[in-house]
């Protein structure tokens, strides 16, 4: 399987460069194909196409842009099984997870964005005190969209659909380790009749294509999801051309479990930490437990972790699959070993593969107890199925521990006391707080603070990320 064509200016074209990256099946550690990595000439061609398409698309009737996304959604639904298969193949998500969670997110985001557009105002009155003033929201311009491999179509849809509806043109650079789902999505956009040059796809790595997009003078905005380290590099690279930079970065979520939490709180937290083999920026990877229920919570967490099956991604069931790559596997193993060496108590899992798997990037579901928040396993984003349990003695201490991290993406609160939950949620430094297992509603903004970035994606907030604000006075009642 060779991914060697890019979608530029409405056509599938051969990559200009000759660099190829081998695609590795994380279940077997064997190559199943290659992807062509773009160079500066590929980037320049894609950006030029987006720049040419910008005047017409930015001024296109909002109903036209909405109709394009409606056609995309219809075609997507007809190919959703292909999307699930592609995601499972490229990043090792178990096929049932790929079908039930990964692929369906593309459908969900398109649906939510279309709902947001029903009452979205691109021209807004300033207020009754200024009847002849209007606030006009206009597309930021050409957007470079750089997406990760862990939830590939989730991040692609969050960015691409919002940019389309806002009136931006774009160049998408997906992770070079997950090119299949992005290529399929480009085919869907082509079939939906999105005008030539509005959407362009090129494959490549961060040091090549990512760097060129970040510094390109004809790119107006970079929207990046990935590691904090890479986000900092992109911000620096974009500074000379004063681009807008949107960042959704890493996390080290705290799950605060109080003594009055419901009986399923610990189990729910463990399972959520291990979803997608722990490869989630919003994973509740630090479980903070009130001292009076600490010992019992550790026992439950260990028992749940030991019951979680691990297996190949082509098997049906609720197992966790492999992590994405040898590099990721080795990093997780190193951090697990640091937890042991640092004095944390290993109560489930540990170093190495599960006993029945002798190849593939499979990690044992691992739980550490008696963790100090100063330990490496509590400070660094592990991005694997590793949970750290930390005791606390008071509400104040729990909040202090939760906020004592460079990150600020998602935190979690488990308590039956309504007043306490509201108080704690307001004091947690994060872009999102989920309580008692209640997921965020459709269209809720996704994003963080501190080292977790500063963007908001999804719903009306996601569309506004790609818009500039213009103030106009002397507005006529007869609109041009």
Predicted pLDDT at 312: 97
Distance (Å, whole) CA 304 – CA 268: 10
Q: How many Cβ atoms from other residues are within 10 Å of residue 374's Cβ?
A: 9
List the structure tokens of 444. 């809720």
Catalytic residue among 90, 248, 457, 465: 248
Judged on CB neighbours under 10 Å (0-12, 13-18, 19+), 480 is: exposed
The sign of the CA dihedral 450, 451, 455, 456 is negative
Element (H, E) at 244: strand 244-248
Q: What is the C-alpha to C-alpha distance for residues 196 and 203, in angstroms, rounded to an integer?
A: 18
For 410, the 3-state DSSP assignment is strand
Active site residue 263: no
Ranges assigned E (strand) in 264-383 = 286-290, 345-348, 366-369
Residue 445 CA to residue 460 CA, distance in Å, equals 8
Q: What is the pLDDT along the chain (480 residues), one digit of tens a residue?
A: 889 999 999 999 999 878 999 999 999 999 999 999 999 999 999 999 999 999 999 999 999 999 999 999 999 999 999 999 999 999 999 999 999 999 999 999 999 999 999 999 999 999 999 999 999 999 999 999 999 999 999 999 999 999 999 999 999 999 999 999 999 999 999 999 999 999 999 999 999 999 999 999 999 999 999 999 999 999 999 999 999 999 999 999 999 999 999 999 999 999 999 999 999 999 999 999 999 999 999 999 999 999 999 999 999 999 999 999 999 999 999 999 999 999 999 999 999 999 999 999 999 999 999 999 999 999 999 999 999 999 999 999 999 999 999 999 999 999 999 999 999 999 999 999 999 999 999 999 999 999 999 999 999 999 999 999 999 999 987 654
Q: Give dist(CA 182, CA 384) in Å, integer.
A: 24
Annotated catalytic residue: which of 90, 273, 281, 465? Answer: 281
Query: Residue holding tokens 């039956």?
Result: 416
Strands 254-257, 244-248: parallel, antiparallel or unpaired by DSSP?
A: unpaired
Helices (H) and strands (E) in the chain, counts: 16, 20
d(CA 207, CA 210): 6
The pLDDT value given to residue 18: 82
Is the torsion defined by CA of 404, 405, 410, 413 positive or negative?
Answer: negative
Per-residue CA distances from 172 to 139, 157, 449, 451 (Å): 17, 11, 24, 24
| Continuous segment of H or E residues that includes residue 273 | helix 265-274
CA–CA distance, 381 with 251 (Å, rounded to integer):
6
* Those residues with Cβ within 8 angstroms of residue 397's Cβ, 6 or more apart along the chain or in another chain: none
Listing DSSP states for 25-77 in one string gives ETTTTEEEEEEEEP-HHHHHHHHHHHHHHHHHHHTS-HHHHHHHHHHHHHHHH
Q: What is the pLDDT of residue 478?
A: 62
Count the neighbouring beta carbons within 10 Å of the beta carbon of residue 305.
22
Locate 474 and state its tokens.
């002397």
Q: What is the DSSP-derived secondary structure letter of residue 453?
A: B
Q: What is the largest CA-CA distance in the chain?
A: 74
pLDDT (0 to 100) of residue 1: 81
Is 68 considered catalytic here? no
Which residue from 143, 387, 110, 120 is spatially nearest to 269, judged by alpha carbons?
Answer: 387
Q: How much is the pLDDT for 411?
A: 98
Q: Tell me the whole-structure pTM to 2 decimals.
A: 0.97
Q: What is the DSSP letter of 340?
A: H
Give the full edge-to-edge strand order of the sheet including 123-125.
123-125, 134-139, 467-472
Those residues with Cβ within 8 angstroms of residue 50's Cβ, 6 or more apart along the chain or in another chain? 142, 169, 170, 171, 197, 198, 200
Q: What is the pLDDT of residue 476?
A: 81
CA distance 333 to 353: 9
């Amino acid at each position: 399987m060779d991914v060697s064509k890019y979608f530029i200016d409405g056509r599938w074209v051969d990559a200009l460069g000759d660099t190829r990256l081998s695609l590795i099946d994380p279940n077997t550690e064997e190559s199943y194909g290659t992807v062509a990595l773009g160079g500066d000439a590929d980037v320049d061609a894609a950006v030029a196409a987006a720049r040419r398409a910008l005047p017409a698309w930015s001024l296109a009737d909002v109903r036209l842009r909405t109709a394009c996304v409606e056609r995309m959604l219809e075609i997507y639904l007809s190919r959703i099984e292909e999307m699930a298969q592609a995601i499972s193949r490229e990043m090792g998500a178990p096929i049932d997870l790929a079908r039930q969670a990964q692929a369906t997110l593309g459908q969900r985001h398109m649906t939510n964005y279309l709902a947001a557009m029903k009452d979205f105002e691109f021209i807004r009155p300033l207020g009754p005190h200024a009847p002849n003033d209007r606030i006009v929201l206009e597309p930021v311009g050409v957007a470079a969209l750089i997406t990760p491999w862990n939830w590939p179509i989730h991040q692609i849809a969050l960015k691409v659909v919002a940019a389309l509806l806002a009136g931006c043109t774009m160049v998408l650079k997906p992770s070079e380790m997950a090119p299949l789902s992005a290529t399929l999505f480009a085919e869907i956009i082509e079939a939906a009749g999105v005008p030539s040059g509005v959407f362009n796809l090129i494959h490549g790595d961060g040091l090549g294509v990512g760097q060129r997009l970040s510094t390109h003078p004809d790119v107006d905005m970079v929207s990046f999801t990935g590691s904090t380290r890479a986000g900092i590099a992109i911000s620096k690279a974009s500074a000379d051309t004063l681009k807008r930079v949107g960042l959704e970065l890493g996390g080290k979520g705290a799950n605060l479990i109080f003594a009055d939490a419901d009986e399923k709180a610990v189990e729910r937290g463990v399972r959520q930490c291990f979803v997608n083999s722990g490869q989630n920026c919003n994973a509740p990877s630090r479980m903070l437990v009130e001292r009076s229920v600490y010992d019992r919570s550790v026992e439950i967490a260990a028992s749940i972790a030991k019951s979680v099956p691990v297996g190949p991604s082509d098997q049906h069931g609720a197992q966790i699959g492999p992590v994405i790559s040898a590099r990721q596997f080795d990093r997780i193993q190193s951090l697990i070993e640091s937890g042991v060496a640092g004095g944390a108590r290993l109560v489930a899992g540990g170093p190495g593969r599960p006993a029945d798997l002798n190849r593939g990037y499979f990690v044992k579901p691992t739980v550490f107890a008696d963790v100090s928040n100063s330990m490496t396993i509590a400070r660094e984003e592990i991005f694997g199925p590793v949970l750290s349990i930390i005791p606390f003695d008071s509400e104040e201490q729990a909040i202090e521990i939760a906020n004592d991290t460079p990150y600020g993406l998602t935190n979690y609160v488990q308590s039956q006391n309504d007043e306490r939950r509201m108080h704690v949620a307001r004091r947690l430094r994060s872009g999102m707080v989920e309580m008692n297992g209640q997921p965020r509603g459709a269209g809720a903004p996704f994003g963080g603070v501190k080292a977790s970035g500063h963007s908001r994606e999804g719903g009306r907030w996601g569309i506004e990320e790609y818009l500039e604000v213009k103030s106009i006075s002397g507005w006529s009642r007869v609109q041009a």
